[in-house]
Amino acid sequence: MIRALGRAATGAVSTIVEAGEELRIHRGRVLLSLVGVAVAICALATVVAAGSIAEQAMREQQERDGGRPATYQIDLSGMSGPLDPATAAPAWETALARHGIEFAARSAQFMTDVQFADGVVSTSIEAVDPDYGPMRRVQPILGEWFADGDAGRLAPAVIVNENFWERLGSPPLETHPTVQFVGAEPRTGVVVGVVENRGQWDTDPWAYLLFDDAEALMAPSPDPMFGGLYVTYAMWLPEGDAEAIASSVVDALELELAGVDVQVSQYRTDYAAYGDDPFAQLKLVIGGVAAVVLLLGALGLLTIALVTVRTRIREIGIRRSFGATAGRVFFSVLMESVVGTFLAGVVGVGISIALVRSPLAAMALNTDDVQDLPGFPVEAAVVGIGAAVLVGALAGLIPALTAVKVKVIDAIRF
């Protein structure tokens, strides 16, 4: 048993060794075709990588705007305008708890006056719950997003945008820089994080505050604006039964808010809500181009592999006369092709990585804003190497069959 295994293992190793040696002997001949395969694989991997990066960029953009799949928003408005957040809060908490919803965040936008060194500026404030960060992929470039314990601090935690931070004099966060909110009852906030500006058009300072802190900040003031504040209630739900959960949350809210002048409704806001896959067409085009490129590479490889085998009929006959079985000859020719294209695939992917990582590509793909950008998409490397091996196996199949059909006696007679 062990002996048989040992013999099988020796057989496998010797097949690979033989293929490697054959490849080395015929490297001149195969090199040309492998250059073609390497180029095709490089193109394929680059196209897949660029596509994946572009898709990631598009996805993140859409997620920033509409949330990640599946994001549902609840609208709580009555005849006289939006529902007062203080009235809504307990009902919202109860409905979330009852449905075991992990990610949910309220958000509201309002203006407040902030004291900067050069004067008071009316500044936009985004009042959000802590889950807003992961739900919208907000990642501070300095410091941290809000933690759950941040709410209710004496000096509320503030996350500012780059403009805001620069107007504060770009202080290191370790020095706990403060923000002066001026108004009926002035407050001091502490900057715990800095986020990127939203784009080139985003030239004003703005800041995130925790919803509960913002409420406290505004509460003492009799400002009628806060009463009419429009609050967005968003939930990030598992994609499978999001629709059912959202409807059930609406029912629960209606029950909790019975007797209150309010109309409860829900709607989905993430990109996946529109059609099946917004990237399907892009993927199709990219896949088509890659397939054509690879097909051409495979045809070139096949032609050269066939010629190579035909010139080696005598060698195959000699090998057979020294004990090579038909199966051995088949695998050895096939392996030669696969080992070759595998190496070509590695080279092609390597070049592709260099291309995609070059500053030129970053410019072309406009990846500045992509957050989850991997050095090189793993799927592109896997697709590239996988396609190379597959092409090697397919292109090697016909020559391998040709090699098996060699009649030993005819091959070695002269």
Partner 1 sequence: MTLVEAHGVGRRVELPDGSRLDILQGVDLVVEEGDRISIVGRSGSGKSTLLNLLGLLDAPTDGELEFQGRDVRRLSSGARDRLRGSEVGFVFQQFNLLPGRTALQNVQTPLLYDRGSGFWQRERLAREMLERVGLGARLEAKPDRLSGGEQQRVAIARALVRKPKLILADEPTGALDLETGAEVMSLIESVADESGAALVTITHDLAIAARSNRHLRLVGGRLEPLDAAPSAPAVPAPGTLASSVDPALDERLTA
- Contacts to partner 1 by CB under 8 A: 7-8, 10-11, 13-14, 17-18, 21, 25, 314-315, 318-328, 408-409, 412-414
Distance CA 328, CA 400 (A): 10
Smallest distance, partner 1 to C-beta of residue 296, A = 30
Q: Which is nearer to partner 1, 201 or 414 (CB)?
A: 414
Nearest residue to 363 via CA among 134, 122, 57: 57
Smallest distance, partner 1 to C-beta of residue 372, A = 49
Q: Which is nearer to partner 1, 3 or 154 (CB)?
A: 3
Quick one: 290 exposed, middle or buried, by C-beta within 10 A (0-12, 13-18, 19+)?
A: buried
Q: Which is nearer to partner 1, 29 or 99 (CB)?
A: 29
One-character DSSP codes across 280-324: HHHHHHHHHHHHHHHHHHHHHHHHHHHHHHHTTHHHHHHHHHTT-
Smallest distance, partner 1 to C-beta of residue 412, A = 6
Q: Which is nearer to partner 1, 14 or 221 (CB)?
A: 14
Q: Which is nearer to partner 1, 368 or 410 (CB)?
A: 410
Contact 163, 197 (CB under 8 A): yes
Contact 73, 93 (CB under 8 A): no
Q: Which is nearer to partner 1, 237 or 406 (CB)?
A: 406
Distance CA 343, CA 37 (A): 10
Q: Which is nearer to partner 1, 98 or 407 (CB)?
A: 407
Nearest residue to 145 via CA among 112, 346, 136: 136
Smallest distance, partner 1 to C-beta of residue 318, A = 5
Q: Which is nearer to partner 1, 16 or 285 (CB)?
A: 16
Smallest distance, partner 1 to C-beta of residue 323, A = 2
Smallest distance, partner 1 to C-beta of residue 334, A = 16
Q: Which is nearer to partner 1, 122 or 311 (CB)?
A: 311
Quick one: 407 exposed, middle or buried, by C-beta within 10 A (0-12, 13-18, 19+)?
A: exposed
Contact 120, 114 (CB under 8 A): yes
Residue 110: phi and psi, rounded to 5, are -155, 170
Tallying the residues shown for the chain, one arrives at 414
Smallest distance, partner 1 to C-beta of residue 414, A = 5
Nearest residue to 207 via CA among 152, 171, 161, 162: 161
Smallest distance, partner 1 to C-beta of residue 25, A = 5
Q: What letter would DSSP give residue 71?
A: E
Nearest residue to 106 via CA among 95, 117, 118, 122: 95
Nearest residue to 307 via CA among 24, 33, 15: 33
Smallest distance, partner 1 to C-beta of residue 292, A = 36
Contacts (Cβ under 8 Å, ≥6 apart) of 297: 36, 37, 39, 40, 41, 391
Smallest distance, partner 1 to C-beta of residue 32, A = 17
Q: Which is nearer to partner 1, 144 or 315 (CB)?
A: 315
Q: What letter would DSSP give residue 150?
A: G
